[in-house]
Chains A and B, each alone.
Chain A
Amino acid sequence: MKFDSPAGDNLFDRSRIVGKSTSRIDGPRKTTGTAPYAYERGDEVANPAYGVILGAAIAKGRIRRMDARDARRAPGVLSVLLATERKPVGKSDWNLAPLFGGPEVAHYHQAVALVVAETFEQARAASNMIHVDYERTDGTFDLAAAAPAAEGADGNQDRSTLGDFDAAFAAAPVKVDARYTTPDESHAMMEPHATIAMWEGDKLTLLTSNQMINWAKTAMGQILDIPAENIRVDSPFVGGGFGGKLFIRSDAVLAALGAREAGRPVKVTLQRPLMFNNTTHRHATMQHLRIGAEADGRITAIAHENWSGNITGEEGEDGTMQTPKLYTGANRMTGNYVTQLDLPEGNAMRAPGEAVGHMALEVAMDELAEALDMDPVELRIRNDAQDRVPGEPSKRISDRHLTRCLREGADRFGWSARSVVPGRMREGRWLVGMGVAAGYRGGPTQTSGARVRLGADGKVAVETDMTDIGTGSYTIIAQTAAESLGVPLERVSVELGDSGYPVSAGSGGQWGAASSTAGVYAACVNLRRAIGEKLNFDADRAEFVDGEIRAGNQSFALTAAGEMSADGKMEFGDFKDDYDVGTYAAHFAEVGVDAYTGETQIRRMLAVCDAGRILNPLSARSQVIGGMVMAAGATLMEELAVDKRFGFFANHDLATYEVPVHADIPHQEVLFLDTLDPIVSPLKAKGVGELGICGPGAAIANAIYNAIGVRVRDYPITLDKYLDRLPELA
């Protein structure tokens, strides 16, 4: 099925199930421990052995020699795989450094060995008996030092311009020119990467934890140099991903190699302290914002430049991505420069680019508002784009209500109580401040397929390789099928995450909800048509309601055609290229800063979101508040500390890489505007999983400034960065 023109009035505009707050249909399994994660599926597998990965002790160099004699003799050990005894595995389209093999070390904690043993404890103990002799070579680990080399590296066209920024900025009566930095960050999801691998002849099965089943299958074929069709990937439940599980990582590769070597199924999970350097992370950025405005607040010139690094010198963290979309201004420049670093692989983490881009842009807007002596909410409204994307005027905006988000949010939050002058609101020992930020994140769609089976008993089963990474995919897919076929939600069951099912869009880039529900709808339409053909009515003009089919003056039971099954997929047409489909939010935060110690306590947060139809307000809210928590972490505490001598992230466990705890997040509120975007899909619904992290960080940063009158532009905003500049103690 092709979505090749804007959606008109359709069944979802009269929906009974889609759009209603619905508890997760997988909830009972989650809460009763019967929704197993990959590593817990050992009882589905006969006689599994355990693999433990040894990570490289250096950041860059080569292995001179590995001695595994002790490990191979250790109790319970079945096999030991050494990097020096293996050619590097193939590099998939999604990996930047080989995941295993060969003597070269590309980054710290890169896998250099796997021990397979009868028990986990035996494998772990033996992994520490492998003696590795390294030859360390110098590497580049300091982004700030390497950044100047990035601009135009390898002849890259890394700037985009509109009008004449330099002249307009020079002429602007009011301007802001500020630099910001954001650190490397870790996904730190609850469930570590884990895989159980097993071979039957040349067929490989991976019970794993992955967001993108079809990418995983394709990548595994490339890595092991085997046909992808010989690989089955199964990932029905995923304990969080945030982009860290978009790709096959060393757990899957080494489980597969270990299982082949040991002749048995092998389970591998990454130890938590290995995850931070072995897998991917969000890249650190350096950002430079220059904004010029007329005295009335209209932006005339805006430039956003961004520097980051990666192991290949490509594919960095592009903090400029939201800037062409958010605000008007005739003269513009964005630059995105990537340098080569020998740190672990940077890659996507929840709203890659935008999450940290807002932390610079939306603070610069706050600085501009202050320079203009203008309310920051009003400044954003003054420069809100209307019909065309400001940085790409050939593109129309599909559906946008940012001004409404800001206005309704300001009312709801009590914005008028904010002190315009920073450092003036005091409650006991607390200095109190409020901040606002706008948020933008694209609302993309990808081809997505599904299969729908109708049983003779009227039950509906949906199968797709879509994943639920804690987001609520099971439920919105069930809602969509129930709505499309006119059955109660309880009649629908959903099976996800198996590469044997039709290929979906997967979970990433905030495209999962919109794409996968459209794919399920397409399969349902095909099923309706198949029933119509069999019973001889025009399914496209029929109504499927309450377990019945009403076609003209005819009426059938839904089951009248007997057992039926249909595959379908939704493809999205080129007409979309004329549009920018975005999601929008206004974020508000209130903080208290301890006047003595400088500790920041978030008091309350509000997000007002415009993301088209909200398929399930209950799980959408959970997505948004999760993003807000992650933004709070990025703003106040999260930082992978780079040891620039040894070239690694030094705080590689959850005791030293701090993420927010409940006590940090006392009160969150989310409002969804009731909007519909006809350009996105027949359901007119856009994702929200990444919108929630786009903006709250800047709102918190702006609230801290409003509380204490000190602007910190280097994240995270920890107390040591402003302690000596706090207002005098009374």
Chain B
Amino acid sequence: MQSFTYERAQTPAEAAKAAAERENAKFIAGGTNLLDLMKLEIERPTHLIDVGRLGLKEIEDTSDGGLRIGTLVSNTALSAHPRVRRDYAVLTRAIQAGASGQLRNKATTGGNLLQRTRCPYFYDTNMPCNKRQPGAGCAAQGGYSRQLGVVGVSDSCIATYPGDMAVAMRVLDAVVETIAPDGTERRIPIADFHRLWGDTPHIENALQPGELITHVTLPRPIGGRHVYRKVRDRASYAFALVSVAAVLQPDGRGRVAFGGVAPKPWRMPEADAELPRGAKAVVGRAFADARPTEHNRFKIALAQRALAGILSDAPAQQEG
């Protein structure tokens, strides 16, 4: 870990301003991902701005019947919130499918959206990685890529966004609220929040330098059956090979997003529209432009079978 200076911000605006004023500064909240990356010197900030005391730990009803979640709400608190459990159960199920109880106690809503990829070549600083060092090349391609992305990937990077929470937020059409160093606030639909890698895989999301996430807003509930199905190599405490977040309506329509397959939670409106025609149609559309490796080609079939399992379940049944 490289040595760094540290300050504790008092307000969101102050935090954003401080981040813009310092070269190579990072926000820290739960630190569950950042600290690991700093120990390995994958992240090398020279200044940390602790946003842990900003408040922003409330979950409030919005005027249109939705929810506004403070960025510092822990994963545990968010998943346990009565309205989340009742109206946005896919989110509770997704969060509880991730990490461990200890990590969920520390991890925050905003921080979890910014969780970085778990590609083994990203984690080994001896290996070339365009994400760590733009232009260095990508060791994952032609290497051990079983866990990596199959769709939305590029010649520069085949890593995935690894998280679960954001996949559920994607089917719920969440909106990310931010504040910029100049004090301006903006609302970013989650569909636009995570970026495809393209030839700049080191740029992972829509945030500008110094911009701080303050809230995540969920629109009013859409009802339906909420399912999060996470498929992995062991029963707990592992990243998804494939995950499926779905909200299914009694008439067969619905929404579906896939995790563990792409640089972002993977959802396409055209694929949603295929839901009445079944899993094959949905996955055929959602993964039409897939470019898997020989090691991770199975993810497409797995996504289809996982979705088929969800669709075959009696409406009363839920998945964990």
CA distance A486 to B31 in the complex (A): 57
| Given contact pairs A57-B126, A651-B144, A661-B235, A596 touches B305 in the complex (Cβ within 8 A) | yes
CA distance A664 to B126 in the complex (A): 33
Q: Which of A442-450, A536-544, A597-605 contacts its partner? A: A597-605
| Given contact pairs A75-B3, A661-B235, A646 touches B123 in the complex (Cβ within 8 A) | no
Judge whether B233 and A636 touch: CB under 8 Å. yes
Give the nearest-CB partner of B229 in chain A.
A597
Would you give the shortest CB distance from A37 to chain B, in whole angstroms?
A: 20
| Given contact pairs A597-B305, A655-B118, A729-B305, A121 touches B1 in the complex (Cβ within 8 A) | yes
Judge whether B144 and A643 touch: CB under 8 Å. yes
Judge whether B231 and A597 touch: CB under 8 Å. yes
Type the 1/0 row for A596-624, where 1 means its CB is closer than 8 Å to any CB of B. Answer: 11110100000000000000000000000
Q: Tally of A-B residue pairs with Cβ under 8 A?
A: 101
| Given contact pairs A597-B306, A597-B309, A723-B301, A658 touches B144 in the complex (Cβ within 8 A) | no
Chain B interface size band reads: 35 or more
- A720 interface contact, C-beta 8 A: yes
User: Pick the contact of B233 from A646, A652, A718, A726 — CB < 8 Å?
Assistant: A718
Chain A interface size band reads: 35 or more
CA distance A662 to B229 in the complex (A): 20
Type the 1/0 row for B119-138, where 1 means its CB is closer than 8 Å to any CB of A. Answer: 01101101100000000000
Residues of A within 8 A of B306 (CB): 596-597
Residues of B within 8 A of A723 (CB): 298, 301-302, 305
Type the 1/0 row for B261-272, where 1 means its CB is closer than 8 Å to any CB of A. Answer: 000000000000
Judge whether B234 and A661 touch: CB under 8 Å. yes
Judge whether B146 and A641 touch: CB under 8 Å. yes
Judge whether A720 and B1 touch: CB under 8 Å. no
Judge whether B123 and A643 touch: CB under 8 Å. no
Type the 1/0 row for A114-132, where 1 means its CB is closer than 8 Å to any CB of B. Answer: 0000000100110010000
CA distance A594 to B229 in the complex (A): 12
- A660 interface contact, C-beta 8 A: yes
- B288 interface contact, C-beta 8 A: no
Give the nearest-CB partner of A656 in chain B.
B120
| Given contact pairs A125-B1, A597-B309, A637 touches B298 in the complex (Cβ within 8 A) | no
| Given contact pairs A650-B144, A723-B298, A664 touches B234 in the complex (Cβ within 8 A) | yes
User: Pick the contact of B308 from A637, A653, A663, A729 — CB < 8 Å?
Assistant: A729
| Given contact pairs A636-B234, A650-B124, A650-B143, A273 touches B40 in the complex (Cβ within 8 A) | yes
CA distance A652 to B233 in the complex (A): 17
- B249 interface contact, C-beta 8 A: no
- B62 interface contact, C-beta 8 A: no
Judge whether B3 and A128 touch: CB under 8 Å. no
- A9 interface contact, C-beta 8 A: no
User: Pick the contact of A637 from B124, B139, B234, B305 — CB < 8 Å?
Assistant: B234
Judge whether A660 and B142 touch: CB under 8 Å. no
Give the nearest-CB partner of B2 in chain A.
A125
CA distance A662 to B127 in the complex (A): 33
Residues of B within 8 A of A645 (CB): 142-143
CA distance A729 to B121 in the complex (A): 37
Residues of B within 8 A of A661 (CB): 234-237
Give the nearest-CB partner of A663 in chain B.
B235
CA distance A552 to B1 in the complex (A): 73
Residues of A within 8 A of B121 (CB): 650
Give the nearest-CB partner of B232 in chain A.
A599
Would you give the shortest CB distance from A710 to chain B, in whole angstroms?
A: 14
CA distance A715 to B126 in the complex (A): 28
CA distance A656 to B298 in the complex (A): 18
CA distance A701 to B308 in the complex (A): 26
- A41 interface contact, C-beta 8 A: no
Interface hits, B188-244 → A, CB 8 Å:
229, 231-239, 241
| Given contact pairs A645-B143, A646-B127, A653-B123, A663 touches B236 in the complex (Cβ within 8 A) | yes
User: Pick the contact of A660 from B127, B234, B298 — CB < 8 Å?
Assistant: B234
- B85 interface contact, C-beta 8 A: no
Would you give the shortest CB distance from B291 to chain A, in whole angstroms?
A: 17
Residues of B within 8 A of A636 (CB): 233-234
- A674 interface contact, C-beta 8 A: no
CA distance A660 to B232 in the complex (A): 12
- A534 interface contact, C-beta 8 A: no
- A429 interface contact, C-beta 8 A: yes
User: Pick the contact of A124 from B1, B235, B301 — CB < 8 Å?
Assistant: B1
- A719 interface contact, C-beta 8 A: yes
- A724 interface contact, C-beta 8 A: yes
Interface hits, B236-263 → A, CB 8 Å:
236-239, 241
Residues of A within 8 A of B238 (CB): 658
Residues of A within 8 A of B39 (CB): 124
User: Pick the contact of A128 from B41, B124, B142 — CB < 8 Å?
Assistant: B41
Residues of A within 8 A of B298 (CB): 719-720, 723-724
Type the 1/0 row for B77-119, where 1 means its CB is closer than 8 Å to any CB of A. Answer: 0000000000000000000000000000000000000000010
Residues of A within 8 A of B235 (CB): 601, 661, 663-664
User: Pick the contact of A720 from B126, B127, B146, B236 — CB < 8 Å?
Assistant: B146
- Residues of B with Cβ closer than 8 Å to A? 1-3, 39-41, 118, 120-121, 123-124, 126-127, 139, 142-144, 146-147, 229, 231-239, 241, 298, 301-302, 305-306, 308-309, 312
Q: Would you list 10 pairs from A and B whose C-beta atoms are within 8 A, ordered by A residue?
A: A594-B309, A636-B233, A646-B127, A650-B120, A656-B118, A661-B235, A718-B233, A720-B146, A723-B301, A729-B305
Complex A-B, nearest 3 residue pairs according to Cβ-Cβ distance, in ascending order: A596-B309, A663-B235, A57-B126
- Residues of A with Cβ closer than 8 Å to B? 57-58, 75, 121, 124-125, 128, 273, 429, 594-599, 601, 636-637, 641, 643, 645-646, 650-653, 655-656, 658, 660-664, 718-720, 723-724, 726, 729
